[in-house]
Amino acid sequence: MRISWKESGGLAAFPGLSRPRTVDTDDLGPDARREIEDLLAAAHFFELTAAYNGAPTGTRDARTYTITVEDGGHSHTVRRPDPLEDAGLAAVVRWLRARR
C-alpha cells in the first residue's frame, strides 16, 4: 500500500508543508503497517467522498489535507479542510504527520 499526502493553505502556510510526502507500507515494520491499515479501515477511507465542497464556517484560511491511497491497483484520493470533522480521518492525518 502506498499513501501520498500533502497539507496546503492555512494562515501561516509554509511551502515545505505543501510538498507531497509518501509512505510505502512495505517499508514499515509490521506494527506500524498494521496500525495505519487499521486506521484507514476504521476511517472507511475508500468509502469517503473524494472532495469536500467548502470549508467549515469561520475557517476561511483553513489548512487542507489531500490524501491518496493506492492499494492493489485501487487508488482513492480524499481532500478535506482543517479542522477535520471525521475522527477516523483525523487519526489517519495524525499518524501521517508524525512521520514527516
pLDDT at residue 56 above 90?
no
Q: How many domains does the chain have?
A: 1
Task: Note the pLDDT of residue 15.
Answer: 59
Other CB atoms closer than 10 Å to residue 40's CB: what's the count?
23
pLDDT for res 20: 86
Confidence of residue 22 (pLDDT cuts 50, 70, 90): very high
Contact 63, 79 (CB under 8 A): no
Helical packing angle, 87-97 and 30-42, nearest 10°? 150
pLDDT at 54: 57
pTM of the model: 0.84
Residue range(s) defining the domain that contains residue 27: 2-97
